[in-house]
Amino acid sequence: MSRDDIMGEIARLKKRISELELELENGSGDLDKTSCNNSAVPELDLDEYVRYGRQMLVPEVGKSGQIAIKQTKVLVVGAGGLGCPALLYLSGAGFGTIGIMDHDTVSLSNLPRQTLYSTASIGKLKVDVALDELRSRNANVKYVIHPVAAMHNNIFEIVRQYDIVLDCTDTPMTRYLLGDVTRLLNKPLVSASALRTEAQLVVLNVGADGPCYRCVFPDPPQYVEACSDAGIIGPVVAVAGVLQALEAIKLASGHQAGQEPTMTLLSAIHGRPWRCVRIRGRQKMCMVCGDAPIVSESDITTGKYDYAEFCGGSLDSSQYPDIDSSHSISVRELHLQMKSPHVLLDVRDRTQYEICSLPGSISLPLSDILGSSEGGETALAGVLDNVKSVSVPLFVICRFGNDSRTAVQLLRTRYRLANAFNVMGGLYMWSEHVDRGFPMY
Amino acid sequence: MAVPLTVEFSGGLEALFNNERSINLSLESRDGSENSPTITDLVVYLCEKVMMDKRRELFVIDGYHVRPGVLVLINDADWELVGEENYVIQPGDEILFASTLHGG
Ligand SMILES: [Zn+2]
């Protein structure tokens, strides 16, 4: 605990002591109240009337809603771009217990949108920083940290301790795992996701006919883009995280049951900004909650049901071809070779090329080479003619050295270009080993 | 009979369609009959006439079935609620193909 935390805690306890002394004087202590009320219902502390007053003034919440929120235990899985704003508002709203689950540490690129963390947090465990930050804002909440990744063999025991779960994660595998576990344990799941300028939100496992994650998405996606590659605008993901907190408040105060299932889509820049679309209900054929479910708790905990296999190996770097070492060069070799005639092809997308590029490099996005039958091939033909006519080496570079492998394989097989070479580790390694002044992003 | 409709793409799918996010078109049944076109007719049309990108597998699999990871929304309703591929397109329909997002 920091000095400020201790001072805050002392102040809170002093206030609490004076409240209790006052109650004792007036002869109306908690004991008297609990003897006539249901002893399971927590009363609000005097300072909580002040703290949550604005929220309690709303008739849809009221005192009963506030007490219901105080009785609710909510788990936030993933303390990133969705989790941070969600946690801030869950804590503010006065949930009784908030679980924070994340195994990751804070990095510089998190700071613009992961609002619980500051420059001083870099390198620290997210759950530790989040705990301190949230406690300094509202110490009435009980916080529980889970500094682990959601895995098939730990997730049931954790989810069991909570009433509502927020999916603030970022990979399909974790999303399916969490979807199945919450369905099997019958806990409402508020699931959100975001990328670039768009976000999606859906409330699952609610009501007799409410769908689970797998009802809505029976088959795993074959192509997945991550925020680290495709980008994200901070407020877009934050809006989705705040909406998750709102849905949790609605669930806890009894404002969700009986609604037909919907999904909310935010498109911040293009087309209609908001859509609330009707989605399918519980599916008879669902593997987890259908009429003949196939996946049970023990299938998951024992690993008999394999999420990695279900989601396919396509989600890691194994989808990139192996390039023979004789067809690859290091960034240091590239640096030397750049003094002789050569062609350097940068296959990142144009937005990334505009952020930074090596002098003299030619921009030709991999998606143009792979996808477009017009522009890409024309542009590529120009590059190839140039390389072939003067027979100079063609070096292919990208951000991390993955897309460049795909490009080199294509150039060597489809275009029979025997002097195409992959620059291993891409611009990331260039900035590490050749030019530390070259920006990485 | 040609039916006018609006098709929209989001979640990254627009990249396959020349970064067009919204297109208006008039569609006929692909068997040339007087029947109104279905969603399958639309998907075939999009693949054959609209999509510039050669990577068809980013949109459809096994012929002309929309691949997993793409939501199809017809007038703001999941296509599962209205007959999926066999839904008969009505004049003025708004059909959105949205890639599901996973970032967080
Ligand atoms: Zn289900």
User: What's the pLDDT tens digit per position in A275-284?
Assistant: 999 999 999 9
Neighbouring C-beta atoms of residue A18, cutoff 10 Å: 11
Q: Which residues contact A157 (CB under 8 A, 6 or more apart)?
A: none
Give the Cα separation of A219 and A238 in Å (integer).
27
Each domain of chain B, given as residue ranges in start order, spans: 3-99
**Nearest Cβ partner of B52 from A78, A80, A372?**
A372
> Could A279 and B78 be called an inter-chain contact, meaning their C-beta atoms sit closer than 8 Å?
yes
- Of B9, B11, B10, B8, residue with least CA distance to B102: B11
Contact A112, A84 (CB under 8 A): no
Give the gyration radius of chain A's Cα atoms: 27
Q: In terms of residues, how long is chain A? A: 441
State the pTM of this model.
Answer: 0.88
**Nearest Cβ partner of B67 from A222, A270, A371?**
A222
- Of A328, A312, A311, residue with least CA distance to A402: A328
The rounded Cα A431 to chain-centroid distance in angstroms is 27
> Could B103 and A194 be called an inter-chain contact, meaning their C-beta atoms sit closer than 8 Å?
yes
Q: Which residues contact B35 (CB under 8 A, 6 or more apart)?
A: B1, B29, B88
| Closest chain A residue to B78, measured at CA | A279
Contact A282, A260 (CB under 8 A): no
CA B88 to ligand 1 centroid distance, Å: 27
Neighbouring C-beta atoms of residue A99, cutoff 10 Å: 22
Could you give the ipTM of this predicted complex? 0.95
Q: Is the dihedral of CA A13, A19, A21, A27 positive or negative?
A: negative
Taking the CA of residue A216 and the nearest CA in chain B, the distance in Å comes to 9
**pLDDT reading at A35 higher than 60:** no
Confidence of residue A317 (pLDDT cuts 50, 70, 90): very low
- Of A210, A48, A62, A73, residue with least CA distance to A143: A73
Q: Which residues of A are catalytic?
A: 227, 398
> Could B11 and A198 be called an inter-chain contact, meaning their C-beta atoms sit closer than 8 Å?
yes
Give the Cα separation of A380 and B54 in Å (integer).
15
DSSP 8-state secondary structure symbol assigned to residue A2: -
Contact A129, A106 (CB under 8 A): yes
* Burial letters A219-233, b for 16+ CB under 10 A, else e: ebbbbbbebeeeebb
> Could A217 and B80 be called an inter-chain contact, meaning their C-beta atoms sit closer than 8 Å?
no
CA A106 to ligand 1 centroid distance, Å: 34
Q: In terms of residues, how long is chain B? A: 104
CATH of B3-99, one of 3.10.20.30, 3.40.50.720, 1.10.10.10, 3.10.450.50: 3.10.20.30
Half-sphere exposure of B79 (CA within 13 A, CB side): 22
B4-32, pLDDT tens digit by residue? 999 999 999 999 998 999 999 999 998 88
Chain A residues in contact with B104 by the CB 8 A cut-off are 78, 80-83, 167-170, 192-194, 227, 237
Q: What is the mean pLDDT of residues A239-266?
A: 93
CA dist list (Å): A377 to A372, A397, B13, B47? 7, 18, 21, 20
Q: How many helices (H) and strands (E) does chain B have?
A: 1, 7
Give the Cα separation of A112 and A103 in Å (integer).
20
Q: In degrees to the nearest 10, what's the CA dihedral of A169, A173, A176, A181?
A: -80
Give the Cα separation of A265 and A258 in Å (integer).
21
* Mean pLDDT for chain A overall: 90
Confidence of residue A208 (pLDDT cuts 50, 70, 90): confident
Give the Cα separation of B74 and A334 in Å (integer).
52
A179-197, pLDDT tens digit by residue? 999 999 999 999 999 999 9
Residue ranges and CATH numbers for the domains of chain A are 30-310 (3.40.50.720), 320-433 (3.40.250.10)
pLDDT of residue A19: 59
The rounded Cα A202 to chain-centroid distance in angstroms is 15
pLDDT of residue B100: 95
pLDDT of residue A335: 97
**pLDDT reading at A215 higher than 60:** yes
**Nearest Cβ partner of B22 from A78, A175, A271?**
A271
**Alpha helices, H only, chain B:** 39-45
Q: What is the mean pLDDT of residues A35-62?
A: 83
Confidence of residue A123 (pLDDT cuts 50, 70, 90): very high
Neighbouring C-beta atoms of residue A299, cutoff 10 Å: 16
Q: What is the mean pLDDT of residues A431-440?
A: 97
Q: Is the dihedral of CA A39, A45, A46, A48 positive or negative?
A: negative
- Of A138, A120, A141, residue with least CA distance to A129: A120
Residues of B with CB under 8 A from a CB of A: 8, 10-12, 15-16, 21-22, 52-55, 57-58, 61, 67-69, 71, 73, 76-78, 80-81, 96, 98-104
| Closest chain A residue to B71, measured at CA | A217
A223-249, pLDDT tens digit by residue? 888 888 999 999 999 999 999 999 999
**pLDDT reading at A296 higher than 80:** yes
Helix (H, G, I), strand (E, B) or coil at A159: helix
B63-100, pLDDT tens digit by residue? 999 999 999 999 999 999 999 999 999 999 999 999 99
DSSP string, A282-324: --TT-TTTSSS----HHHHHTT-S-HHHHH-GGGSGGGSPP--
